[in-house]
Structure formats: structure tokens, C-alpha cells
């Protein structure tokens, strides 16, 4: 690890991010010179020196590398402070403590953004499992009720971890909760999220997300932005709902399409993050979506909460003593008989 990338430093940051950081540093340099002229000499001189050192490191090609371990400093932290010289693991102890306090606060905020544990909508019962690998999660999981009693659901995975990923997750959550009551179509919701992401995130960050709407009569519409295929599991069948688009945060005006299908009473829709399907056992074998579908099929008679618990237990048993390196999120949406009659609607069955 220590010798890695000692002479290829800024490549990891990406050209765009590098350019942005350089611009930021030059801008700060101007401001500091102005401050110096206004008489804040001592402080400005010290910071000017730090900015010049950072610019010199850019010239030499060592910018963005931790001075202790020579691996790349986290890009989101550099964007917040382009003068950083150490990665998270090599911060001085007092800065480590301040960072931990920030992370814990972010974790509390994140927990408060999660939907109710046992969620019910007309024709549907839902449960989920949400487990960060670290203090905070980059996964996103949300539920809501639309103006016509439809169930809205979302599950996603923001690239990277830490505070930046959790902030993006909060962005998604705020957008979901403000637009769902307005009866916005699912494809438009994902389009909107894509634009917000493209405009507000680092060039290195993107997210995959499945966002859908389910009517009381079992019609489901899904827009999938590059996320893992949702599973429709029945007593004798498993259907994978194939992805319909690119992850959000990559291309601003990329159109988003949705897919429609029906789920019958007794069937479940299973959404999951890669922390579930890409769990590995001691022999480095991957858990996989097929294994998840098999367990899900065995649990159809259970309540959604029990269903989720059984699936998570199976993943944990498969993993054995190996630790989870990624956030794990699993959502089970169980179709139950609606109190309302079944309206006839045109749809493409998949």
C-alpha cells in the first residue's frame, strides 16, 4: 500500500477535479493577498505559504497524496479543504476526534431520515434492513405514499462512503419526500435526481437507484438508474426486472425510462444493494442475486419483517466469519389483497 502511486499522484483525482482544485487554490491565493494588503498580515502570510506549497505540490505531481502513507487523500475532503496533506487514517489525534464527532452527527441525521420500519400502503406491506458498514452508510432507502394512495419506494447506492455520500443521500431523501406528494411520474423523479446530482456533486460521484411506484391493485412502475435488478419472487417463479438506465450524476440530460409490470398477491418485490448480493464467503465466492431469490421464495408466507430477517440471516450465514465491507440494504415489498377493486389499466408485462 505504502509504495503505491508515489509518482502518479493526481491521476486518481480525475482531470476535472484536479482543475477545480487548482482554480480554488489560485482563487484563495488572490483573496489572501487582498487580506494581506488590508493588514491581516501574519495570518495571511501563513496561509499564503500553505497555498503556495500546495500549488508547488501540484507542479511536482505529489498533490493529493497523504504525506504519511502516499495513498490518495479522499477527494471529497480535498474539495472541502484543498490544503489537506493527510488521509483520514493519518490525521493528528485531535483532528481524528473532531472528524469522528462529525461522522456520528451525520449518522444520527441519517438514521432519522429512514422510513418507518413496518410500512403499510393499500395493497402492500413493506419491511427493510439498513446496515452501514462503517459509521454512516452510502446506501439510500426510502418509502412514501402518493396522493392516490400509491406506494412509492426507492433504494440506491451512492458511490463512495463517508460524509459526502451521506449528504448526497440526504439530498435524494429531501427530493423524494418533496416530490412524491405531487404525483410526479417515477421517470421524472429519477430525471430530477439526476440533474440535482450532476449539478451538485463532485465529478467522481454518482449513484445507482431504483425508484418505483406501486398501485393498490399491484401495478408496479420502476425506473432503474443503473442499480442491481429488482427481483419479483413468487412460489414458483423468479423474475428479474432488467435495468432501464445509467446511474444518476453522470450525464445531465440523459432521458430516463420506466418499466411496468404486475405483482400478484402472494408475490414479493425484492430490492437490495451490492453489499447484499456481493457479500463474499471465506473462499471468496459471491453470494449473488440467485441465492437471494431462492431464500426469498422460501419465506413467502412470512411477514415482510420476518422475510427480511431470514434473508439477512442467510447472507450472514453465507459470509461466515468474513466481515462486511459494504453497506447492506434490503427491502421486501409484499403484495397483499387491496381493499379496493382492481382497475383495468394498459401495461407492458415483463
Cross-strand partners of 129: 330
- Backbone torsions φ then ψ of 105, nearest 5 degrees: -65, -45
Q: How far is the CB of 323 from Zn ion (least distance, A)?
A: 21
Alpha-carbon distance of 244 to 156, in angstroms, equals 14
Give the CB-nearest residue to Zn ion: 66
Gap between the Cα atoms of 49 and 34, Å rounded: 15
Q: To the nearest whole angstrom, how small is the minimum distance from the Cβ of residue 8 to Zn ion?
A: 16
- The verdict on 5 binding Zn ion (CB under 5 A) reads no
Q: Considering Cα of 242, then 244, then 245, then 248, what sign does the dihedral take?
A: negative
Binding to Zn ion (CB under 5 A) within 31-90 occurs at 66, 68-69, 87, 90
Return the closest-CA partner of residue 81 out of 69, 64, 62, 68. 64
CA angle 64, 67, 68 (to 5 degrees): 130
Q: Which of residues 139-198 bind Zn ion (CB under 5 A)?
A: none
Q: How far is the CB of 54 from Zn ion (least distance, A)?
A: 17
Minimal distance, residue 86 CB to Zn ion, in Å: 6
The partner residues of 151 in beta bridges, in order of sequence, read 145, 214
Cα–Cα distance for residue pair 11/72, rounded to 1 Å: 10
Q: How far is the CB of 161 from Zn ion (least distance, A)?
A: 16
| 325 alpha carbon, distance to own chain's centre | 15
> In whole angstroms, what is the distance from residue 22 CA to residue 122 CA?
54
Radius of gyration of the chain (CA): 23
Closest to Zn ion by CB, 2 or 283: 2
CA neighbor of 340 nearest in space, from 187, 206, 149: 149
Name which of 53 and 306 has its Cβ closer to Zn ion: 53
Shortest CB 89 distance to Zn ion, Å: 5
Residues 84-143 binding Zn ion (CB under 5 A) are 87, 90
Cβ proximity to Zn ion: between 91 and 232 the closer is 91
**Nearer to Zn ion among residue 66 and residue 220 (C-beta):** 66
Q: Which is nearer to Zn ion, 66 or 209 (CB)?
A: 66
Mask: binding to Zn ion, 241-280, rule CB under 5 A, as x and -? ----------------------------------------
Nearer residue to Zn ion within complex by CB, 84 or 211: 84
Binding site for Zn ion (CB under 5 A): 66, 68-69, 87, 90
Amino acid at each position: 500500500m505504502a509504495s503505491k502511486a508515489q509518482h502518479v499522484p493526481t491521476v486518481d483525482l480525475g482531470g476535472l477535479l484536479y482543475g477545480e482544485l487548482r482554480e480554488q487554490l489560485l482563487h484563495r491565493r488572490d483573496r489572501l493577498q487582498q487580506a494581506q494588503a488590508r493588514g491581516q498580515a501574519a495570518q495571511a502570510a501563513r496561509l499564503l505559504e500553505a497555498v503556495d506549497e500546495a500549488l508547488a505540490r501540484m507542479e511536482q505531481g505529489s498533490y493529493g497524496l497523504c504525506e504519511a502513507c502516499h495513498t490518495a487523500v479522499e477527494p471529497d475532503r480535498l474539495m472541502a479543504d484543498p490544503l489537506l496533506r493527510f488521509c483520514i487514517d493519518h490525521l493528528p489525534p485531535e483532528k481524528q476526534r473532531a472528524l469522528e464527532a462529525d461522522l456520528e452527527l451525520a449518522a444520527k441525521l441519517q438514521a432519522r431520515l429512514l422510513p418507518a420500519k413496518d410500512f403499510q400502503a393499500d395493497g402492500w406491506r413493506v419491511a427493510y434492513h439498513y446496515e452501514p458498514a462503517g459509521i454512516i452508510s452510502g446506501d439510500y432507502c426510502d418509502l412514501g405514499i402518493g396522493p392516490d394512495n400509491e406506494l412509492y419506494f426507492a433504494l440506491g447506492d451512492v458511490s463512495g462512503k463517508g460524509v459526502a455520500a451521506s449528504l448526497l443521500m440526504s439530498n435524494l431523501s429531501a427530493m423524494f419526500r418533496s416530490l412524491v406528494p405531487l404525483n410526479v411520474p417515477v421517470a421524472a423523479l429519477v430525471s430530477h435526481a439526476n440533474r440535482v446530482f450532476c449539478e451538485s456533486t463532485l465529478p467522481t460521484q454518482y449513484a445507482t437507484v431504483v425508484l418505483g411506484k406501486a398501485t393498490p391493485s399491484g401495478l408496479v412502475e420502476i425506473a432503474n438508474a443503473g442499480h442491481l435488478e429488482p427481483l419479483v419472487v413468487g412460489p414458483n417463479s423468479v423474475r428479474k426486472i432488467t435495468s432501464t438506465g445509467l446511474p444518476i450524476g453522470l450525464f445531465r440530460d440523459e432521458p430516463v425510462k420506466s418499466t411496468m409490470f404486475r405483482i400478484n398477491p402472494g408475490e414479493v418485490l425484492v430490492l437490495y444493494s451490492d453489499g447484499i448480493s456481493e457479500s463474499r464467503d471465506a473462499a471468496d465466492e459471491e453470494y449473488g442475486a440467485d441465492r437471494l431469490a431462492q431464500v426469498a421464495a422460501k419465506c413467502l408466507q412470512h411477514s415482510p419483517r420476518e422475510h427480511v430477517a431470514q434473508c439477512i440471516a442467510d447472507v450472514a450465514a453465507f459470509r461466515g466469519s468474513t466481515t462486511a465491507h459494504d453497506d447492506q440494504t434490503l427491502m421486501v415489498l409484499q403484495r397483499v389483497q387491496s381493499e379496493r377493486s382492481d382497475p383495468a389499466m394498459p401495461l407492458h408485462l415483463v
